[in-house]
Amino acid sequence: MAKKLGFTKFGDEKQPKRVAIVFVHGFTGDLTGTWRKIPEFLSQEPKLGEWDFVFFGYPSSGFFDLLNVWSADPDLEAIATQLSTSEDLLGYEALAFVAHSMGGLVVQRALVRSEELRQRTRHVVLFGTPSGGLDKARKPAFWKQQIRNMASNSKFIGDLRADWKQLKFLQDPPFSFLAVAGLEDQFVPIASSLKPFPEKFQTTIDGNHVTMLKAASAGAECVQKIVQQIAGDAPAEGPRTAARLAIEKGKFDEVVRRRSPIRGELTDKGAVELALALDALGRRAEAMEQLEQHTRKGTDVLGVLGGRYKRSWEAESRRSDFKKAVELYQQGYDEAVFKQDHPQAFYLGINLAYLALAGEPRDGIGARRLAKEVLEHCEETRGDETQNLWRLASEGDANLVLKDFKTALARHREAAKTEMDPWQALSIQEQALRLAGLAGMNKDDLKKLSGYYQGKQDE
């Protein structure tokens, strides 16, 4: 394939998707020569079915550069500029970059250059990238710009590593990151591929600089490294696929960017949105502080704050967190019942029922009483389609508390068929499974219940 500057799409051009994996080749590489059958194998992976595969190419030859005389391949700064400013990627809500060799330097530089690109990037995988530079590039560097850029003592490498550090990418990058080195790679030493990054971002695979990407099957190491980094344990279907999680993270990042500077002026709705986003991004303590300091605390604020304490108790078993969660849920529930705010009442009530059943000592009687009240509040909202998801999930949970497992499964199966965000699916699934376990549901039904929120139906 001709080495032209720009993008090529693999697969169906007529069905653009919301997320894309962008492949970037290295020095003297190209689409087919570098990636071979990897795109084909990845396209067969169900977990990546919602991703487009896009290839970024650029001129890179072994010929002498004739600077100021005839022609030259672009240097890495120019290539990175093209990657970071291209309109070809603007239609995607989330991106994953997979790069080889020098292409990994291009990706790193593009991410430094463009905040907008960073905001849409969810995953970066680098194979055999000389992130620490190449000592062997010093001697022939006079005849090739791209080789000069890769030299360990070059300004390009020095600036890149300094910028990467200044942007705090080393310990806490805004995307998942993996640097992969070939165990037999003599062109890019393992130290250059891995040592610029903390150990948690390093791994190795068999092969040299070229053969590390020679995949004979979908089970090849290089293919599986890509799948694991992008999809992980995400299911192939349902609301929590890798693609939907990638899109959701972007939305949460945007909420935090937009609302954090004005957190002292937020309405209840804005405060709740910010807290949920912070919590989903792993910043639970900050989310709790945000809601604690929020001056107006309606039932929604009380419930979401109670939920953060509940999750802290589940994770760390602190009795004080349990008591605080009960206090907040109870306060919100009493207010919702008084105001006949049935959606808030069934949401807060079912959480109280769960805590009653899970606490020490367990209050089974109180939990069953609350479950019956929850069902009454749910009945009052029947017909309001905006409440379908949470009503059905709450009905399912209430029936779990009451040990009516057949009805509970039916309600959760119906809830799982409604449109929902990934965080909602996870929240509902986690509490339902905990309640089901406390209520004594058998393993087969537990498996069904879990599967509903992973895109699996038993009908």
pLDDT digits (tens, 9 = 90+) for 283-296: 999 999 999 999 88
Pairing relationship of beta strands 94-100 and 176-182 according to DSSP bridges: unpaired
Query: Is the pLDDT confidence value at 140 over 80?
Result: no
- Measured on CA atoms in the order 432, 286, 282, 318, is the torsion positive or negative? negative
Tell me the mean pLDDT in the region 431-459: 92
Position 278 scores a pLDDT of 97
Q: Picking from 60-74, 141-155, 191-205, 401-415, which range would have the lowest pLDDT averaged per residue?
A: 60-74
User: pLDDT for 414-440, tens place per residue?
Assistant: 999 999 999 999 999 999 999 999 999
Q: Where are the domains of the chain?
A: 6-230, 295-452
Domain 295-452, second-level architecture: Alpha Horseshoe (1.25)
Q: What is the rounded average pLDDT for all residues in the chain?
A: 92
CA angle, residues 327, 330, 334, in degrees to nearest 5 = 140
User: pLDDT for 304-326, tens place per residue?
Assistant: 999 999 999 999 999 999 999 99
| Cβ atoms 237, 456 nearer than 8 A | yes
User: pLDDT for 324-358, tens place per residue?
Assistant: 999 999 999 999 999 999 999 999 999 999 999 99
pLDDT bin (cut points 50, 70, 90) of residue 66 is: very low
Query: Is the pLDDT confidence value at 68 over 50?
Result: no
- pTM surpassing 0.85? yes
Query: Is the pLDDT confidence value at 127 over 60?
Result: yes
Rounded to whole angstroms, how far apart are CA atoms 249 and 277? Answer: 9
CATH of domain 6-230: 3.40.50.1820
Position 50 scores a pLDDT of 96
Query: Is the pLDDT confidence value at 98 over 60?
Result: yes
The 3 state secondary structure assigned to 13-38 is CCCCCCEEEEEECCCCCCHHHHHCCH
Query: Is the pLDDT confidence value at 186 over 80?
Result: yes
- Bridge partners for 178 per DSSP: 125
